[in-house]
Each structure stands twice: as structure tokens, then as C-alpha cells.
Amino acid sequence: MNKNYEEKLLKFLKLFWLRPENGLLLAFKSGIMEDIKFESPSLDLSCGDGMYMFTHLGGTFSDNFDYFKSTQAEKFSHDSFVDIYDAFDPNYSPEIISPPKSQIDYGTDWKQTLLNKAATLNIYKNLILHDNNKKLPFEDNFFKTIYSNSIYWVETIDFLIADLYRILRPDGTLVLQIMTPYHHETLDKLDNLFSKEAIDILDRQRRDSYKGLKTYDEWIKLFKKAGFKIKETRNVYPNEFILDLWNIGLRPIAHLLIQMNDALSPEKRLQIKKPWVDIFFKLFKPLLFSQESFKFEKSPYLLFILEK
């Protein structure tokens, strides 16, 4: 790892300070694709609220802003699951210090609330509401660069991969960050140690929600079946300890932390946030230099660079 990973870790920790384990994983996700260029026409499929791509491409938010603005955390309980972040306050206004170094031509997502948030960042030239279980709303051979880190949510995964092949230009590149069943191995190991209630608190329905999880070999077969050539495969995380942190982390109390955060004055929030981020940066920084121990066949999260 290089200094660039440290800078990314600090940026993502500031943005995701109440879920620092997310900041750590996003630093790896961004760092592993630092050399990838988004040549136009470009697409971020399932772009969400745009904060990850904004930060990945060099944008900087004010320390006063974070991922936890405009949520419905007060509606969440472990007995009544809701998506905390599926919310949009009309007064939502990210404080931007500097914009990204480039823009993406198209961003799509299936939640309008997330697209509304993404629209405030001016990183996507066009935003489209779309369910990836349906045919993609683009012409054949259209995109030079396509990126997605969410295709494993889709039930009709074979159809989606074939459709991505359809809309990619013959000289184009498809970049996918893909989860495998090993991503939740921490929870699998805890199944026999914790009660079902405890596991449900840690899981938050994640293992049931990811419909398209495949092993490394299964992903390879799907890509080749669709006609893709595999240019390169990369491990995103170096070892399983990093996934153990993420699978447990502060997720069980995130909704409560957000509500506590909302009750603070802006001055008090920033007073707490600065040392909070500093502590987790010192804790997580050594992990950036972990030795890689995953083989592709057992990797929980992979980056594939595909060509038509």
C-alpha cells in the first residue's frame, strides 16, 4: 500500500465516522481501482447517493458533512427492519470543499431518494431511475467504461451480465467489484456460537438480501458465457480480519449513534468527530499494510476488469 491509501482512509473515515469499518473497506475499494480511467461515455451502475464515487474521484467534503445526513434512523429497530439511508430531506445540502477531478456521464439506481442525494454532488451528468432486474435503458455498444459494485443484489444475474455485454462498446471496459459467499464468513462462523436473535442483530438481513452471490469460479463461468474476456482479477481486501471488523463493527448500534449525532449541535458534533476520526485512523492505518492472504478461490470481494 502507498500513501494514497492513507489519504483515502482519512477521507472515508471522516465521511463514515459513525461506521468507521465502512470507511476502512471503502479505502480498499477505492485504492484497488486507482489506476482505472472512466473514459466517456461512462456509466456507474447502481451509483447510490454518489458519495463513494465523489470521494474516489478526488472530491472533498467539509468536516461538517457526513454520510449520516438525511436518514430515517429513528424508524429502525432490529424487530422492524428499514433501510436507514432510504430518505431524502429537501434541505439536504452537502458542504463541498473541492469537486471531483472528473465526472461520470451516467449514474443509475433503483431508489429515487439516493438519486436525489447524488444529484446534489454534480458528479453525474445524467441520473436514471432503473431496476437492474430489467433491461438496461441504453443502446447497444454505447459505453466505453462501465463500473458497478452492486450487481450481486440482482436476482436475474445472468440476464444482467448479458445486458452489460450488450451496452458495452467493442473497445470498452467493464469494471465490477463483486462479493462472494465468503464475504459473510464471520457470521457463518458465529452461527453456532450466538443465539439466533444475536445473529439477526449482526446480520441485518444481509445474507438474505444478496441474491446474486457467486464463487470466483462461478463468476468466471458467467462472464465467459456472456462473451466477456477477463483482462485482470484483483483482491480488494488483503485478509479476513478486515472482513471480521466489517461484519460486526458498529452496525448493531448505527441507528442509535445516528440519532445521538442528530441531537448534537454542529459545534459539539465536530468537537467529538475530530478525535473520533483520529482514533480510528490510528487503529486502522496498520491494516493498510497487511500482507495479502486471500487466494481468488477463497476471496470475499473481487475486482474484475472485463473486455468485450
Please give the Cα distance from 48 to 109 (Å, whole number).
6
Question: Which H helix or E strand runs over 199?
Answer: helix 196-203
Higher pLDDT, residue 197 or 3: 197
Domain count of the fold of the chain: 1
| pLDDT of 4 above 90 | no
Residue 293, domain CATH: 3.40.50.150
Q: What is the pLDDT of residue 2?
A: 56
Least confident of 154-168, 208-222, 228-242, 246-260: 208-222
Kindly report the average pLDDT of the chain as a whole number: 94
Asked if residue 27 has pLDDT above 60, the reply is: yes
| Residue count (the chain) | 308
User: Phi, psi at residue 301, to the nearest 5°?
Assistant: -150, 125
pLDDT in tens, 154-205: 888 999 999 999 999 999 999 999 999 998 888 888 988 999 998 888 888 7
Q: Look at residue 211 and tell me whether its pLDDT is greater than 80.
A: no
Residue 100 domain boundaries: 3-307
Task: Give which of 301, 296, 298, 285 is closest to 247, Cα–Cα.
Answer: 301
- Distance CA(28)–CA(32), nearest Å, equals 6
Percent of the residues in the chain that have a pLDDT greater than 70, as a whole number? 99
C-alpha cell at 8: 483515502
Cα–Cα distance for residue pair 138/121, rounded to 1 Å? 23
Threshold 0.85, pTM exceeds? yes
> How far, in Å, CA of 228 to CA of 232, rounded?
12
**Residues 291-303: tens digit of each pLDDT:** 877 889 999 999 9
